[in-house]
Amino acid sequence: MWAVSAIHDFPGLRGGGGQPFTGFVDALLRAQCFVHGLPDSAIATTLRVNVRDGGVDTRIDKGSPQDATGRLRCPSAWQFKAESIDRVTEGSVVKEIQNHYATDLVLKGYGYRVCVCDEMTAERKGLLEKALNAAAQAIRQDAEPCFVLSASDLAEWANRFPGIVATQFDRPTTIARHWQAWQVSEIALTPSYVLPPDWKDQFAAIQSHLRFPAVPFDPVLPVQGAAGVGKTRLVFEAINQLPGAEQLVVLTDDDERAIEVARWLVNVGRSAILVADECSARGRFEVAKIVRGHEARIRVIAIDNTGELPPHGAPGIWLEKINVSIAEKILAQNYPAVSIERRRAYASLSGGYIRLAADLCRHDPQMSSASGLAPAIPPLQDYYLRRIPENDQRIVEAVSLVHRIGHSDDVASDLNLLSALTGVEPAKVRETASRLKDAPGFVAVTPRYF
């Protein structure tokens, strides 16, 4: 699905003052630290700027004995060479470790690593490491082993984290989205996030599930509630506030893709956080079967929009609709140009569906041509008519007649019955619902669907 090639992809990281290569390796180090529970506070970057000619670009102050690569088992100092191997010699790497700051860290027990943005033969790599280790032992007799990492070493390492490959090397896919693509769409309506006070425990539970050193009882954490209440954004923010976690994210938006990605992750040995949006109970069951036993490197958050309360005592998270006062605070943070009266009206009319309330604010100029507060209900009707294409309104209104509808499992017959009553083909209902499922107007009319 997502993979990187040292030969084809790494030449593009050279240049730019070394920043592209530095950004890539730093992202890789943050991801590796995250899966081993090393805090972000233990990572110091941009040392080239802070410590002039110190021979160190990034410093990691803690190590993990469980690190399978062997490169982070002790505190480590990292130097990046965004240049061809022709310019990296035994003399140049020795000169780097003999810089005052690098020497000081070696004396303190840090292992020294040099990353080169190019390929090299095994013989060349061996000579560089031999010279580097001799220089380290001259500084401290029992110095930690030094490593030289080639483009192939870094590519093999990066390929363990599909999120890094996707974000750092612009890997598009029709199966899933990576963090940066998700981020753009998730913060479009409400760039400033306000955590509802009643959701603090749920926020903490999501973060706890994603802390990799502790293996959870179940690899899949269900997050449930009606569509549009803010489940996906809560998951996004919980991940966003775990430094390094975003590099592991893969996002899917239906059962079939979630199952496909889960199967790929276990087969190729990747570490990942799979966020399975629009994931039904059947989807969760199938994904859990696939990833069970791989909890040490794969975590799944399954977001269910059916709006059906789980059985009492069932594992997972249930989110209630936020109250109007919290909705008003969210709108005030994100739409200060909209009058307080209209924000209050939108918060009330949304009924706790913040996606709808935010979209109403975003389209406030179209909602009313009056300078003051116009009657809210007629504009809301106009809003719906404008936001849902005319050809789709009949299907949306038909779906809104029932409590829940679907095309599989125990509700498949309901779709056939509805189609018979309205004269709309089941395939057309499925296609329209899939296309409009994220439209706030659709959520407002059909809060429980598919």
> 241-245 — which CB contacts under 8 Å span 24+ positions?
241/207, 242/34, 242/207, 242/210, 242/211, 243/30, 243/34, 243/40, 244/30, 244/31, 244/33, 244/34, 244/40, 245/34, 245/210, 245/273
Mean pLDDT of 243-272: 93
399 and 309 within one domain: no
Identify the sign of the CA torsion 322, 328, 331, 332. negative
Is 346 within the bounds of a domain? no
Domain-located, residue 349 = no
Residue owning tokens 């994904």 = 287
Q: What is the pLDDT of residues 21-74, one digit of tens each?
A: 999 999 999 999 999 999 999 999 876 655 566 889 999 999 999 998 999 999
Quick one: average pLDDT of 89-116? 96
Q: Is residue 348 part of a domain?
A: no
**Predicted confidence (pLDDT) per residue in 302-337, tens digit:** 999 877 777 665 678 999 889 999 999 999 999 999
192/138 same-domain check: no
In this structure, the answer to whether residues 146 and 22 fall within a common structural domain is yes
Same domain, 207 and 153: no
pLDDT tens for residues 271-308? 999 999 999 899 999 999 999 999 999 999 999 987 77
Domain interval for residue 427 = 388-450
The reply to whether 186 and 240 lie within a common domain is yes
Among 184-188, 197-201, 274-278, 380-384, which is the least confidently predicted range? 380-384
pLDDT one-digit tens code per residue, 119-132: 999 999 999 999 99
Same domain, residue pair 199 and 279 = yes
For residue 109, pLDDT beyond 70: yes
Determine the pLDDT at residue 295: 92
Domain boundary among 284, 318, 352: 318
Cα–Cα distance, 150 to 6 (Å, whole number): 9
Based on the structure, what is the number of domains in the chain?
Answer: 3
For the sheet containing 272-276, what is the strand order? 249-252, 272-276, 298-304, 220-224, 317-318
Domain co-membership, 241 together with 313: yes
Same-domain status, 110 and 220: no
Kindly report the pTM of this predicted structure.
Answer: 0.79
157 has pLDDT over 90: yes
Q: Given a cut of 80, is residue 98 above it in pLDDT?
A: yes
147 and 288 housed in the same domain: no
Mean pLDDT rounded to a whole number for the chain: 85
